[in-house]
Chains A and B, each alone.
Chain A
Amino acid sequence: MSAVWQKIWADLLHRRMVSLLIIGTIAAAAALFTLALTTLFNLEAPYDKSHAELNGAHLWLHFKPQRVRAMDIRQIEELPEVAASTGRQYSYSSQVYFEDTRAPVSLRVTPIEPPRVNRLRLLSGRFIQPEADEVLISRDMRDIYQLSVGQFVEITRSDGQRVELPIVGIVYDPMYDSYRASLPPYVYVSEHLLFSLFPDKSAWEWSLGLRLKDPESVAVVVDKIQSMRNLELVNDYTDWHDVRSSAIFDAQMAFIFLSAFSFFAILATVLIIVSIISSTVLAQIKQIGTLKAIGFTGRQILSVYVGQYVFMSLVGTALGYTLGLAMAPLPMRTITMSLNTSYQPPFNGWSLMAVFLVIPGITILSALGAAYRGARVNIIKAIAIGAEAPARKTFWLARLAERMGAPMPFVLGFNDVFVKPFRSLLAMVNLTIGVMGMVFGLALTGTIETYRQNPALLGIVYDAIVTRQETSDIRTQRLLAQTPGVEAFYGETLLEAETLNGQSLNLRAVEGQLSAFPFVVEDGRFFQPGSNEAMAGKGLLDWLGLKVGDSITLILDKDKGTKVTFQIVGEYPEPADAGQRLMVNLSSVSPLLKHTNPGTYYLKLVQSAKPDEIRSFIAPRRDSDLNFTLLEDIVPDTNYLQLAIFMLAAILIGIAIVNILIMSLLSAQENLRVVGIIKTIGMTPAQVVIMFSTTAAFLGLLAIVAGIPAGLVLTRNLLNFMASFTGFGRIAISLDTLTIIGLIPFALFISILGSFLPARWAAHLQIVEVLRRE
C-alpha cells in the first residue's frame, strides 16, 4: 500500500469521531439537498403535469337541455381542431344530505372503465363498482363539507324517497374549476345508479369534454360551435386556461414558500459543507507540516486529503440520499395531494446525479482549497503553530469580565472566543446559518399564518361568494340586501379584453359597497367610483411593463372595435391569472358593452352570521340557481405547507447542531494543550464545561446578532424573488417580536447543546495523555 493510502486510512480510522461527524454532516446536508430537489421536482407545474397525466380535456361544454341533439355532439367531435372527446356525459343537478347539511351538487355519470379523455385521479378510497349503489365525491366536496371515505350521503329520488349511498372514493377532476365554477361540487355515480334515482332521461343534462390538437385553440372551437346552428347550444363552457389559473392560485403560496425554502436549503447545504470541510482540513495543518517535513510532496498531500474527503463524501452522500428518499414521502405526499398533482418519487436519475455531483463536488473542492493552502504553508510555521497562531493578547471582553469579578471559567470561555479568530469565524458562520434557518422557517410559517388569518393580503377581501345563472341581477341584489347576516356585497362581471398589442387579459368590473371591503392597496390608491380609473395586479404590471400612474387602452369588443382607456391608480394583490388582471368600475364599461350585469357577488358577513341560514335564505329551493360558497372553502389549506416547512426547518436546525458539535470538537482538539494546563492547575470538569459553554454561547450570541437580520433580509428577498414568478405581489414578512425574543434563548441553547459533548469530552480528558501528546 502506498504512503498516501496508508495515511488516508490512518486518518480515517484513528480520528474516528471526527470522521463519523463529518460523514454525519455530509449525510445531513445531502438529505436536505435531496429534500430540496424533491420539493422543487414536485412543485414544477403541478397542474400541467396532472392535466397531461390524466389526458385532461381542454374545453368542457355544458349544453342547454332540450336544444342539443346527438347529431350536434357528433358534429362537434368531428371538428378538425378536436383530437379526442369524452363522449356525451350525463349529469343531474340535485342535492345531497348528510347530518344536518343540505348541499347542492351535480350528480355526474362516470364510466366504469377509465375514459380516454379527462380521467379522474383517485385521491383516496376506490372507484365505484358497476351497478353498485355508491358514490365518489370530488375533492372540492370533501374540502367544503369535510366529508371522507366511509361516510354516507342521502339523495332524494324522483319519487320522493331518500336513498342512503356510501362514499367509496375521493377524486380530482382536472377540469373542475374550483375558483370560478358555476356548477356546484361534483358527486360521481354510475349511469345505472343515476337512472335508478332519476329515470327521466330527458331531464338529464348533457356535457362534453374535448381534447384539442392545439390547446390554445379553445376560442376558435367555441366560436365554431356557437355558429354551428342558429340555436345557442352551449349554456356554459369551461376553458382549461381558467382551471389552470385557479389551480395556480391554489398552488402559488405553496410554490413560493416551498421553493424559497428549497433554495435556502441548497444555499445552506453549500455553506455548511464549505465551512465544515475547510475547518477540519485547516485543523490538520500541523500534521501537513509534519508530512512535508518527512518528504510528502504537495501533490501527495493533496491526494491524502482529497482521498479522505472523497471517501467520506461518498459514504455521507449515499447515507444522506437514502435518508432524503426515506423522509421525502412524508411532506411531499401531503404537498402534492394539495396541489392536485401526482407524487413524483424522489428517486430518479436527475436527483441521483445532482446529489452525487453537487455534494461530493463541493466537499472535494473545499478540501482541495484548504489542503492546497496547507501544502503551500511554511513547514516550520505549520509544525509550530498549525493553521492559525493563537491570539497573543487577552480578549478585551475576557479582561472586562475578569475586572467585573466573573468566575474564571467564564473569563477563560470569553478569552477562547478570540484565541483562534478564524476558527471562531467559521464556527460563527455555521451558527449563523443555523439561526438564519430558524428565522427562515419561523418567518415563513408566521407569514403563512398572517395570510391565512388575513386573506385580504391574498386579494380575498370577502367572506363568501354567490353566483347566479337564471335569477336576474336585480333580483339577486335585492335578495342579498335582505339576507340576514350579510353586511355588504359587491357584484362582479369578468370581462375579456385585449391590449392594442393583442395581449389578452381579464377585467374585474365591479360595483357595489366596495368601501366596506378591506381591499389591500400595495401601491397607489383605490379607484374613485364612477371614474375610468383602475387597479392592476402585480403580474399585469410586470407583464405589460406598466407602473402605477400609467394609462392602458383596452379593446373590449374586437368586432365593434370598442376601446376604453383606464388610468392605473393602484396595485392590489390579484389572486387569479398570476396577477395579470385589472379591476375597474363596472360603470366605466357597462355603457360600452351588452350583458355586463354581474354574475358573481362577493359578500361581507357580520360576525354572528350563520352560513347555513344564509344558504337556506339565498337558495331555499332544490332547483335554485344561486350558489353560496363560504370563504373557508376557497382559501387554500396551509396546514400541510406549515408542516412541510417545519420539517425542513427541523432538519436544518439538526444540521446546525451537528456542525456546532464538530466545530466545538475541533476547537477542543486544537486547544488540548490549554485544557491540559488548566486542568492540571485545578480546573474541575464542571468548570471546563462552563468554559466551553461560555465560548459557544458567546459565538451563538454573535450568530444571533448577525443571523436574525440576515435571515429576515434573505427571507424577504428570496420570497419576493419567487413571488415575482407568479405575480403574487409583494410579500410582507411576518415575524413577531415575541418570536424573535424567543429565538434568542433557543439559539443560545442550540449553540450550547452543540458544544456540550465536546466540552464533556474535554472535561474528562486524561491530563497525562494530553501533556504527553502536546
Chain B
Amino acid sequence: MTTLIRVSDLKKTYQTGSVRFEALRGISLDVQSGDFSAIMGQSGSGKSTLMHIVGGLDKPTSGSVRVGEHTLETMSETQLAIFRRSQVGFVFQFFNLVENLSVQANVELPALLAGGWNRREIRKRSAELLERLGIASQAGKHPWELSGGQQQRVAIARAFINQPMLLLADEPTGNLDSASGDEVLKILKEFNQQGQTILMVTHSAQAAAWAKTVLFIQDGLLVDRMDGGDEKSIAQRLVDLR
C-alpha cells in the first residue's frame, strides 16, 4: 500500500479580532491508499478543520499536506478547485445538495464542471451510481422530494461521479436515523472494499467502528490511534481521553 495522504506538523490558527484560536497545533499523520480512517474527537477538537485542509477547502497556517502528488499548501485557488473536483469526493452531514436541481443533475454537476468527459459518458456513469446506491428510480426527482437517507445517497453518488482518489465524509450519519446511517456506512464500506480511500470525521463511536483505523484528536493534536475496534472499545477510548 502507498501513502495517499501525508500531513506534517500541520497547524491552523484562526484570528478573530484580538482573539486567537489554535484549531490544529501540529498534527502529523499518514493515510494509506485504500484505507478507511475515522477521525474522532470532541466538538472544537479540530477534526473538521483537519478534514477541510486535507480536502483543499482551507489552507493551513503552517505545515504541509500532501495528497497523492499534490502539495496543497502551495496550490492556488483555481488549482485547489480542480484538485477537489478531480481527486476528492465530499459527503456532508447536511447533504449540501442544490435544491432546485434534479437528483441526476446534482450527481452529474462535478463531472459537468470538470468538463473533461462527454455528456453521454457522464449520464451513463451517474445512472450506474444511482443504480448501485438504490436510488435510480429517484433520478428525476428533486432533493426536497427525498428522505434524508436518500439525499445522503445522492450526495455519495455525487462524490463518486469523478472517481476520486479520496472520499472525505464529514459526519455523514449525523443527520440520519440509525437505520439510514447504517445503510450509508455500509455503502461507504463497500466502496472502501473496492479500494476507495475514505477519511471520515465523526463523533459517533458506532460510525467509527466501520472504519479500519480510528484517529483521536484532542485540542488540535493527534493524541491516539486505534487500528480496528468495535463500537464499545472506541467509545471507551474516547472516554479515557477526556
Contacting residues, chain A, for B115 (C-beta < 8 A): 407-408
Complex partner residue of A415 from B86, B97, B101, B114, CB under 8 angstroms: B101
Q: Is the beta-carbon distance between A392 and B144 smaller than 8 angstroms?
A: yes
* Interface membership of B225, Cβ < 8 A: no
Q: Is the beta-carbon distance between A393 and B77 smaller than 8 angstroms?
A: no
Contacting residues, chain A, for B96 (C-beta < 8 A): 673, 676-677, 680, 771
Q: Is the beta-carbon distance between B113 and A681 smaller than 8 angstroms?
A: yes
Q: A residues 380-435 with Cβ under 8 Å of B?
A: 390-395, 402, 405, 407-409, 411, 415, 419
* Interface membership of A147, Cβ < 8 A: no
A672-687, CB under 8 A of B: which get 1 and which 0? Answer: 0110111111111111
* Interface membership of B100, Cβ < 8 A: yes
**Interface residue count for B (Cβ, 8 Å)?**
32
B58, closest chain A residue (CB): A768
Contacting residues, chain B, for A395 (C-beta < 8 A): 100
Given contacts A394-B100, A677-B97, contact A683 B105 (CB under 8 A): no
Given contacts A679-B81, A681-B85, A766-B58, contact A393 B110 (CB under 8 A): no
Complex partner residue of A392 from B85, B100, B110, B158, CB under 8 angstroms: B100
Q: Is the beta-carbon distance between A767 and B58 smaller than 8 angstroms?
A: yes
Contacting residues, chain B, for A411 (C-beta < 8 A): 112
B110, closest chain A residue (CB): A681
Complex CA–CA separation, A392 to B109 (angstroms): 17
Given contacts A678-B113, A680-B90, contact A685 B81 (CB under 8 A): yes
Q: B residues 96-139 with Cβ under 8 Å of A?
A: 96-102, 105, 109-110, 112-115, 119
B24-41, CB under 8 A of A: which get 1 and which 0? Answer: 000000000000000000
Q: Is the beta-carbon distance between B98 and A674 smaller than 8 angstroms?
A: yes
Q: Is the beta-carbon distance between A681 and B84 smaller than 8 angstroms?
A: yes
Contacting residues, chain B, for A407 (C-beta < 8 A): 112, 115
Q: Is the beta-carbon distance between A682 and B99 smaller than 8 angstroms?
A: no
* Interface membership of A610, Cβ < 8 A: no
Given contacts A390-B99, A408-B109, A408-B115, contact A682 B82 (CB under 8 A): yes
Contacting residues, chain A, for B99 (C-beta < 8 A): 390, 392
* Interface membership of A764, Cβ < 8 A: yes
Main secondary structure of the interface of A (DSSP, over half): helix
Given contacts A391-B100, A415-B100, A682-B81, contact A687 B113 (CB under 8 A): yes
* Interface membership of B78, Cβ < 8 A: yes
B68-102, CB under 8 A of A: which get 1 and which 0? Answer: 00000000011001101110001010001111111
* Interface membership of B57, Cβ < 8 A: yes
Contacting residues, chain A, for B212 (C-beta < 8 A): none
Distance of A427 from chain B, by nearest CB (Å): 18
Contacting residues, chain A, for B101 (C-beta < 8 A): 394, 415
B159, closest chain A residue (CB): A681
Distance of B209 from chain A, by nearest CB (Å): 26
Q: Is the beta-carbon distance between A768 and B57 smaller than 8 angstroms?
A: yes
B105, closest chain A residue (CB): A394
Could you list some 21 contacts between A and B, CB below 8 A?
Answer: A390-B100, A392-B99, A394-B101, A408-B109, A419-B100, A674-B98, A676-B96, A678-B109, A679-B81, A680-B90, A681-B109, A682-B114, A683-B85, A683-B113, A684-B78, A684-B81, A684-B82, A685-B78, A685-B81, A767-B52, A767-B58
Residues of A within 8 A of B (CB): 390-395, 402, 405, 407-409, 411, 415, 419, 673-674, 676-687, 764, 766-768, 771
Known A393-B142, A680-B96; 10 more pairs at CB < 8 Å = A391-B100, A407-B115, A680-B90, A681-B113, A682-B114, A682-B162, A684-B77, A687-B113, A764-B77, A768-B49
